[in-house]
Structure 1
Amino acid sequence: MDPLAIISGTITIVESILSTYNTIRHLQGLPKAFEEVGQNLPLAKETLQLARRQLKRANPDEPEKRAIEPVIRGCQQKVEALNDILKKIENSKDQEGDAQHWSTLAGFYHRVVVPMGKAYRVENLMGDIMDKLKALAIHQMFKAATQGQIEKLEKAIKELSEVEPSLPDSEFEIGGGNVNQNISDQGRGFVSKGGYVDNTMGNKFSAAKDMNFEATSTPLRFEEIQHEMFQISRMAPGAGTWLVESPEFIEWRDGKLQKLWYYGIAGVGKTVLASIIINHLHTRYSANTDVACIYVYFDYRKHQTQSLADIFSSLLVQLLRGGNYVANEIQEVYETWGVTHLHPGLEEYLKMLKSQAKRFQKVYMIVDALDECCGDTKKNTMNSFLRACQELPENVYMLFTSRPGLNSRLVKPDREFEITANAIDIKSYLNKSIESHPNLRAIIETGLKTDIAFRCRTFLLAHLHMEFLASKLTLGAFEHGLTQLSSTPNEVYDAALERITGQNEDRRQLAIRVITWIVFAERALTVTELIHALAIQDAASQIESSKRVIPKASATSETEWALTSACAGIVVGVVENDTGFLRLAHGSAEEYLRNGQSILFQDSQSTLAETCLHCLTNVPTKYSQVTADDFSQDYPFFRYAATYWGKHLSLKVKGSTYKLAWEFLADKRLLNRSVRAIDDSKICQERDVSGMHVAAYFGLVHLVRKAMGFRKRLDINARTQRNETPLHWAAAYRQREFLEFLVIQDADLNATNVDNRTPLHIAMMNEDTMSVSLLLATKRVNLELPDSQGYTPLTRAAFQGQLSMVEKLLKAGAAVDAHDKDDWTALRWAAQKGYKMIARLLINHGASIEPPSSDNWTLLRWAATYNRGDVITLLSEMRVDMNATDADGLTALRWAVSHDQAMTTWLLIQARADINKRDKKWVTPLHAVAERCHQSNSSNHILWLLLENHANVNAQTKNHGLTPLHMAASGGNDSAVWLLLEKGADPSKLDVNSRTALHCAVGSDNLRVAQLLIWRASGLVNAFDHEKRTVLHYAASQGNRSIVEMLLNSGADIDAQDGSGQTPLSLAVSQSHEDVAVCLIRSGANLDMPCKKKRPVVYLDKLAASMGNAVIVNAIRQARAE
């Protein structure tokens, strides 16, 4: 839209805000923020008028218009938002019986603003408006006209930022965030730093909210894997160069191939090569913000955490870090999360990823180890992932790595290539390895290096062979070792285990324990944690016999080298974020050890669980007073033990381990100390935790049943500090077997925590269908208990869009019209969130479509406002009254029209909605759309739709007598005016002030509309209003020379006098409109007519002299001389 039209429309809205503000300004107790807004509205209007006038004079070209349009439009959007909020307050005031005190409206204002966020508080909206106006005022196009406004605007911005907030902060309110605007224009732009908005203006626009999007998701730490793998690649200097210089890779990188697939056997270095590719792309395009590189590292060991939603959220977070733009879809999801704190689903993440990817010129996506993506037939994860990849935009270029055997039809690559271990890379790796082993360096000759390289067909074999050969101390032993090198990884693992078992007893046991922890630990242990765990294992027998405390980490003597050397090359050390870890040399080693070496790792879970329990029960009591950092330094294994002991116990363990576990659970002091160390942000804050709570957390049904067999005392309804029972914890952590056990034991199903939530609430919020079914099946659950936010289980399920939950609750007898504290029913939440199936289900179960509420919400009104045609159709089929009105007399059709919903308007007309139904002010839908036609193109479509269906084109409003033509003429939309005239609008119709549509057009500086009206009704040019003012008076008063000239050419009476005796010329002179005054003088205006009828009589010469305008005085003298 043209910037001039936007400014004119914005001025009209500001005038409406001024009018609305005047109706609430006298309220007692009105927050000072509102008063501050009211004081600044005239300044906003004045600045906009100056900008409009200057824009007309400047007549900018298209690039200049594009440069300023975003800020002008942004200003308009903020003005519309402010107008909308104040209008709602005004309506609420009327509904409250003309309320006199703010306290009666404060709750309503809170409900309106809090869901939208701090940015929609009236003072913040006004601050944004002033920031944008300041940005306009200092632009070179406007600076001459608006220079005097800058200081005023800066003062207003400062005062608005310092005023007491109109609302106290709320934890449910979305943070306003700083908005950075950037529009580049080859040096013609400007920069404004004011308040909390930075504007840079030119041709390119972006808006990025200061959002912590990672809080809305659980992104996976692929960056750590990338760092680790690339560090490994440095073990072979120059590795991967052959790949990034290969023709197929360059074709893919340059955009000639969409998908590239590399496959190779285990150990050839696919993952390391993926990290080299990622680093290559990052380095090559580091300075190009239009190119992004994102990546996924699949790992079969992490299927539980690598859900598709988490994978795509991780890709999205990487993409957001790579650019300054944030797509609208992402901002909307972030704002929704700020209110609901519900994580988006897979479909939402994929939609956001696609939207954000389109903002880049090119996005590279590297997917490593695709074959390790979960192939679960129920979830069909790999197929789902690849289908989602197919939906990504064409500017996303994908590269996959995998083992052979994957069906290429799933990937659908443009090219596929087999990766084999590159001889040069292997030789480089061997040279580096030999350099790092002094004994090898001393005995290996060049020829032997070549022999080793020949035998090492993969990097995995190279590493394992080097570890084997490094144990040879003489040349003879080394050469003999060369003859024993194995040709497959499994043969190498067999040989390594032989070397491990052939060591002395201490080193053999050390190696087995190290490998046990690495293979069976629930997460990777740091070197420090592992060494401390081994020390606790060593001390376990002494602890049991003498009740000694466990050793500190500083008392241990093992080193990383001692651990890795004992493991014969199967274990390697890596560094991630400056922290050392031990891991298996390759993923295939874990599979080999788990599946083929069960004899070596008998009772491994018992060993790990007991080590954890010894750690938790034998830390000195004095450590309850030391700092967390000191404690972690002395007992680094304690956090792992607290977090995972129950996980190890829940697997297959021996009987004595259960005894140790129950002794721990029975000691509340020890238990609560360990709970504070659990790596769970919620649990670690809890206090007064019982053994049953922790058993529920880990799902330790077998342990509790054993305790019952020994007649141990169990409190199944014990309460924590947050008033939660074990049943709450079982529901929260999806321990369904334990939940069922508690139900059978007659646990209190309706116990409420500090948030007034029952276990049913918790299970539903977790979307745990099976647990909900278990609870409902008891028929002992109270379905109508509201939580602290007023949600019953049914309203909560509708709010979260859980169709199956809603079905279960309705079947169980939940009250269909139960409402929350804001009077929102389940149907209202389903409608608001767009859950069509849930809404239909609730309606079919008898939900009221007009539930009682403080804001008179109805389903029909909502559907009309938010373009929900499906709901309109459903209600029409139910024969709902389409002409029902709200407190202001507005129908659904009126709401649809006012919100530019063309399709909904058409559906309502088809449903026989009354097209000419008037509200209490006699405003019809046609009036409403005519008033909005200058704001959006869709309004023109709606206007045509109403006129085609016989809307009364000459209907007049009650108080002002305005026709739709009056309103369209004020807005300045010549298309709308033309359409109204074609459909029979009478241009001579007068409002209560005897104004025609031409008066409205000229009064709003709308030249084209004025021309159109005169062309259709030339006699209007000298029509006058109730003050005897003609349209020429209006144009002269506005200072619009173009319209003045057009009116004179159309036969306007140049010397017409209004009721006070003023002519167009005297008005122009009195308001110092030089251009207009000179134009009228030169066009022959009578210079000797008195300027007003009342005495004393004032003539033009004296009026011009009193104004001190030399240009006008000289023009009069020159005209008289001529």
Structure 2
Amino acid sequence: MGDAFGTIGVIGVAGQIIQATVQFGLDFKDAPTDVKNFIIELQALKTTLSETHSNLITNDEFIQAFKGQDSALLKQTLGIDTSQIILSCKHELEELLQKLTKRTQGHRVGWERLKGAFLSERTRDAVQDVYRQCQTLNSLVAIDTAALMACTLNEVRAGRQEHRDGETSRQQAAVLDWLSSMNHYTQHSEAISPRQPGTGQWFLETAEYQKWVQTTGQTLFSPGIPGSGKTVLTSIVVEDLSQRFKGDDNIGIAYLYCNFKSYRNLKAIDLLASILKQLAQGKASLPNSVQSLFNNCDKGRTRPLNEQVSITMHSVVMEYTRVFIIVDALDELTMSYDCGEKLLSELFALCKDCEINLFATSRFIPGITSKFQDCLWLNIKATDHDVQTYLEAQASSLPIFVSRDSELSKQVVNSIMKATDGMFLLAKLHLDTIKDKLNLKAVRAALKNLAKGSDAYKKAYDDAMERIEHQSKDRDLLAKRVLSWITCAKRPLTVMELQHALAVEINESELDEENITEVEILVTVCAGLVIVEQESSIIRLVHYTTQEYFENTFQRWFPGATSEITRVCLTYLSMRVFEGGPCPDDDMFEERLRLYNLYDYASKHWGSHAYDDPSVTDDGIRFLKGQANVEASCQAFLADLQKWGCSFYRASQWHLKINGIHLAAHFGLEDLLRRILEGCEVDLRDSHGQTPFVWALRQNHGGTLKLLHDRGADINSKDIQNMTPLMHAIEWNLSENIHQILDWGADIDAKDSEGWSSIIHAANWSNKELMRLLIERGADIDVKDCQGRSSIIHAVKWDNMGLIRLLIDRGADINATDNRGLTALHHASFRENIIAMKLLVENGSYLETKSRYDETPLMLASKGGNLQAVRLLMQQGSDVNFQNDNGRTPLHMAALSGYSNVVKFLREMATKRW
């Protein structure tokens, strides 16, 4: 800011005046009172101005502190009042200094002679004006300081709030990621990317679609033949809804794009969890019911049950005014009880209970179409306008001699349109046929032979494979390897995974990166049968009918492919770079997956490919003998978030000491197991204490279990948590294997480290059928865990009425107490489970049982503020005036906990009883 006020000049003159009195040899104590006061004022002014100048006027830190906000002091620098006052003062002080100098020249110096110069009224007024101005500046500083403190406080608060908001966002993101790892945004982006502008508008303008959008609780079913554009049209519906209700937080939208390969191993609960995740994301803050679901699943360490997801879904849906759920390609799901059937059952329940709007597409499959008989129908078919728009947009990709001939281009478009019969995919395949032609005669011949009718796809795919085989030998072989890998893969492959797979040289210990083929070549050699999804980098077949075609003609085109894929995976896993074993930390593990792209896939799926082709036994044996490579691959295949129900993983968590026999059991490779068991202990344990029998059990390999049992496997072996195979089977709901294990003599009442027996495990997993089976097989129904809790207390803890009724019917002791002296009624009262409380009381549960803390069920309910539970217990005859050893009643409990509504009710009841 510089010397904005001219203070330096005043300070200098004031200093000279004060110094002059010293130089004149005058004693300050002899000065007249008026002069003495003036000099004192002048000294104070000099000090004040010096401090003001150094601390405020020329202090850059002070100026920076007010950058971007108002300052009362800095504004003062823009005015002229202060500067004029100071300049006036400087002028008067300079005159004073001149007078003093003149009066000392040639005369004897004394205070009497100098007094007149000091007492000039104008000079004194000027000094006082500056002093007052300094006081004003100080006041402005005080104002600025207060403002700056307030601003700083607000910034601190804002920072804290931002930190809290950031932490909340991270916590919510963790919950949502735990719910589902599916990326629905990417799925939608890939689905809508092939759309040509202007296509699909006819669908949005139909009366059926308009009725569906405008009427709450409607279901619209849109079936279509293969290749009719159902997925693109579904994406158009999602886009229309998103734009139509943009910014409306009261409208929920969720969607699924079902894919035969991506969804192969998923169950209905996985799909419902994805829908729940999307609806939860649509709210400004995470719904309480979703947070509760996460907390109830041990804060994300376990997966939720079907019933829990269903209840939470209903709760979240009810937070919206309207909800739209869109499901594309139901026919690509396995229509089993725990997948397609269960999904539709849950969605129809939402339609009935919550009046959601449901939109679904499928091929014409009776098992699916019959479920939508009473709904709105609108068939999907590629219209001539849409097909023509698509073909004209692709015209530039035709050979140059076709695209520059407008008449020939029109002929191509019209001929393909006539042959497609409402199938977009067929239009694409026919267009790919024309693209490969090298002259006019070939184009005209191809147009005459375009496949039509019910066998059009097969003929089009046959033609594509014929074009592939007419390439050079190397390109033909590469195309078939690409197509066989994509067809056989157990999950979708990324481009880099496939590139590494194709670059592997069998039995070589290193990957030669010079053997990697560019993705453009991989796609080109496949004659239009393969595409790359840009966002996800997934390389896949152009359509699910392509997959069906290759599955039906596999031996014709890809003989020996299964064996090759297995050997590639085993070669990759056996490479020298993995001989160091598992990675010790997350960073190194992530780096391994980044550098060796096929490692994740090979680790997880080599055994599945080997299962399909037993001829690779020798290769499998060689790999399984490499202990370090086996443990390294185990780390990769166990780091599977969804399967293991973790919201996150740590590489070190899956650093297991295992043997090849465990992996062979895991994949159900019985031929390999027989060979390995010739020189290996059958009950060899991993670092978690689990035997191969447990590994085979986890994957439900019944034949492998029998093989291991026949070889002497201990069916009652305990791991480091003292869990037996039977307990694991209960947790994984493997009912068939449970029957078998019990027949082989499993100890039904064995306990784990927490004192849980098999029947308590069944209670905690809310499995009524397994509970019934265990009771019928003689399990101790009243066995207690280390906390003294019996199976009925565990059932109450999970609010499972089916289990509670079953246990009561089978004679469970409902008055058994845990280590805290709490009965099942205590627990039900605290949880405010009114139905369970009624059932327990009706079947003889004691009302006045006291816990170790001297609390009856009524006291516990009062303490927890559970008014409904309090009311029910009072109606059943609980004593409102019951006193514990400290003389406290239920009324005291409610009052001490601050539940005024319960206090009011208990007072009223106490008055009535009195």
Alignment TM-score > 0.5, same fold: yes
SS at match of 2:821: coil
- Between the aligned partners of 2:295 and 2:750, the Cα distance in structure 1 is 29
Taking a change above 3 Å as real, the CA distance of residues 696 and 866 of structure 1, as seen in their structure-2 partners, is: same
AA of the residue aligned to 1:587: Y
* Residue of structure 2 equivalent to 1:571: 530
| In structure 1, distance between residues paired with 2:796 and 2:481 | 58
1:695 aligns to what? 664
Alignment of 1:672-821 (within 5 A): 672-678=631-637, 680-681=639-640, 685-707=654-676, 712-781=678-747, 783-787=749-753, 789-821=754-786
Cα shift at 1:522:
0.8
Alpha-carbon spacing, 1:462–1:761, altered in 2? closer, same or farther (3 Å): same
Partner residue in 2 for 1:598: 555
Equivalent residue runs for 1:557-568 within 5 Å? 558-568=517-527
TM-score under structure 1 length normalisation: 0.60
Name whichever structure is richer in helix by fraction: 2
Once the two structures are superposed, what CA deviation does each residue of 1:957-1015 show, in whole Å capped at 9, x if it has no partner?
xxxxxxxxxxxxxxxxxxxxxxxxxxxxxxxxxxxxxxxxxxxxxxxxxxxxxxxxxxx
1:833 to 798, 801, 807: 798
1:436-475 to 2 correspondence within 5 Å? 436-437=397-398, 439=400, 442-456=403-417, 457=420, 458-475=423-440
The counterpart of 1:523, out of the listed 491, 499, 524, is 491
For residues 434-459 of structure 1, the C-alpha deviation after alignment (integer angstroms, 9 at most, x for no partner) is 32355366554245335424423322
Q: Relative to structure 1, is the Cα distance of residues 625 and 307 closer, same or farther in structure 2, using a 3 angstrom cutoff?
A: closer
Q: Which residue of 1 aligns with 2:15?
A: none
1:612 maps to a residue whose letter is: C
Q: Which residue of 2 aligns with 1:671?
A: 630
Residue of 266, 289, 293 corresponding to 1:329: 289
Distance 1:295 1:900, change over 3 A: same
Task: Call closer, same or farther: CA 1:477–1:618 in 2, change over 3 Å.
Answer: same
Q: How many residues align?
A: 739
Match of 2:382 among 421, 434, 437: 421
For 2:213, the equivalent position in structure 1 comes to: 253
Identify if the C-alpha distance between structure 1 residues 909 and 437 changes in structure 2 by more than 3 Å, giving closer, same or farther.
same
Whether 1:224 aligns to 2:181 is no
Once the two structures are aligned, what percentage of the paired residues are identical? 25
> Any stretches of 5+ residues in structure 2 without a counterpart?
1-148, 645-649
Distance 1:451 1:420 in 2: 21
Query: Are the aligned partners of 1:803 and 1:837 in contact in 2 as well (CA < 8 Å)?
Result: yes
Q: Is the 1:257–1:414 Cα contact (8 Å) retained in structure 2? A: no
Contact kept in structure 2, 1:443 and 1:475, CA below 8 Å: no
Q: Does 1:213 align with 2:181?
A: no
Contact 1:623 1:631 in 2 (8 A): no
Q: Offset at 1:646?
A: 0.4
What are the superposed Cα offsets for residues 156-214 of structure 1, whole Å, 9 maximum, x if unpaired?
A: xx9xxxxxxxxxxxxxxxxxxxxxxxxxxxxxxx9996698679xxxxxx999746223
With over 3 angstroms needed to count, the CA separation of the structure-2 counterparts of 1:217 and 1:733, relative to structure 1, is: farther
**1:895 to 1:374, Cα distance in 2 relative to 1, 3 A:** same
Query: 3-state DSSP class of the match of 2:618?
Result: helix
Q: Distance in 2 between matches of 1:719 and 1:218?
A: 33
Residue 478 of structure 1: CA displacement?
1.6
Of 421, 424, 432, which aligns to 2:393?
432
Q: Can you give the 5+ residue segments of structure 1 that lack an aligned partner in the other structure?
A: 1-149, 159-189, 200-205, 953-1122
User: For the Cα contact (< 8 Å) 2:665–2:673, is it kept in 1?
Assistant: no
Q: Name the SS for the 1:365 alignment partner.
A: strand
Which residue identity does 1:527 align to in structure 2?
A: V
1:594 deviates by: 1.0
Specify whether residues 941 and 749 from structure 1 end up closer, same or farther in structure 2 by C-alpha distance, changes over 3 A only. same
Superposition deviation, residue 343 in structure 1: 2.0
Which residue does 2:371 correspond to in 1?
A: 410
Q: How far is 1:673 from its partner?
A: 3.1
CA separation in 1, counterparts of 2:184 and 2:604?
Answer: 23
Q: Distance in 1 between matches of 2:676 and 2:236?
A: 55
Assess, with a 3 A threshold, how the Cα gap between structure 1 residues 629 and 475 changes in structure 2: closer, same or farther: farther
Structure 1 equivalent of residue 274 of structure 2: 314
User: What letter corresponds to residue 383 of structure 2 in structure 1?
Assistant: N
Does residue 345 of the first structure (1) align with residue 299 of the second (2)? no
Aligned to 1:384: 345
The answer (yes or no) to whether the contact 1:208–1:326 under 8 Å persists in 2 is: no
**Cα distance change of structure 1 residues 409 and 550 upon mapping to structure 2, 3 Å threshold:** same
Residue number among 597, 609, 626 corresponding to 1:648 in the alignment:
609
Other-structure match for 1:984: none
Q: 1:854 to 1:731 in 2, by over 3 A?
A: same
Partner letter of residue 801 of structure 2?
K
Alpha-carbon distance, 1:624 to partner: 7.0
Secondary structure class of the residue paired with 1:391: helix
CA contact (8 A) 2:172 2:286 kept: no
Per-residue Cα deviation, 1:495-547 (whole angstroms, up to 9, x for no partner): 223333444433333222221111111112222322332232xx33xx4xxxx
The answer to whether structure 1 residue 589 and structure 2 residue 546 are counterparts is: yes
Q: Contact conserved, 1:750 with 1:782, CA < 8 A, in 2?
A: no
How many Å separate the matches in 2 of 1:857 and 1:916?
Answer: 20
CA distance in 1, matches of 2:300, 2:546: 44
Q: Deviations over 1:698-757 (max 9, x none)?
A: 12123213555xxx3122222223333222322333333323322232223343333333
Is residue 505 of structure 1 aligned with residue 473 of structure 2?
Answer: yes
Max Rg structure: 2
CA spacing shift, 1:618–1:437, aligned 2, 3 Å: farther
The change in CA–CA distance for 1:721 and 1:859 in structure 2 (over 3 A counts) is closer
How many angstroms apart in 2 are the aligned matches of 1:912 and 1:873?
Answer: 12
What letter corresponds to residue 765 of structure 1 in structure 2?
E
**What does residue 255 of structure 2 align with?**
295
Q: Deviations over 1:917-946 (max 9, x none)?
A: 44446565677789999833x776666666
Task: Sort the Cα spacing of 1:696 and 1:484 in 2 relative to 1 into closer, same or farther, 3 A.
Answer: same
- TM-score normalised by L of structure 2: 0.72
Give 1:965's aligned residue.
Answer: none
- Measured in 2, the distance between the counterparts of 1:507 and 1:633 equals 28
Listed as ranges, the matches of 1:995-1014 within 5 Å are none
Residues of 1 paired with 2:866 and 2:238: CA distance?
47
1:1044-1065 Cα deviation digits (max 9, x unpaired): xxxxxxxxxxxxxxxxxxxxxx
* Structure with greater contact order relative to length (CA < 8 Å, sep ≥ 6): 2
Cα contact 1:222–1:296 (8 A) shared by 2? yes
Match of 1:237 in 2: 197
Q: Deviations over 1:398-433 (max 9, x none)?
A: 222223455656235664222221333323322332
Measured in 2, the distance between the counterparts of 1:351 and 1:753 equals 34
Which runs of 4 or more aligned residues in structure 1 lie more than 6 Å from their structure 2 counterparts after TM superposition?
190-199, 206-209, 621-626, 926-934
Distance 1:637 1:896, change over 3 A: closer
Contact 2:192 2:235 in 1 (8 A): yes
Partners in 2 of 1:621 and 1:838 — Cα distance?
Answer: 49
CA–CA distance in structure 2, aligned partners of residues 382 and 786 of structure 1: 35
- CA RMSD in angstroms, aligned pairs only: 3.9
Q: Which residue of 1 aligns with 2:136?
A: none
Q: Deviations over 1:757-790 (max 9, x none)?
A: 3333322222222333333322253733322x44
Quick one: structure 1 residues 845 and 359, their matched pair in 2 at CA, closer, same or farther if it must change by over 3 Å? closer
Q: Cα distance 1:375–1:722, how it changes in 2: closer, same or farther (>3 A)?
A: closer
Q: 1:943 to 1:408 in 2, by over 3 A?
A: farther
Match of 1:366 among 316, 322, 326: 326
Q: Which amino acid aligns with 2:715?
A: L
**C-alpha distance in 2, partners of 1:433/1:250?**
31
Secondary structure class of the residue paired with 1:784: coil
Q: CA deviation at 1:866?
A: 3.9
Query: 1:610 deviation in Å?
Result: 1.7
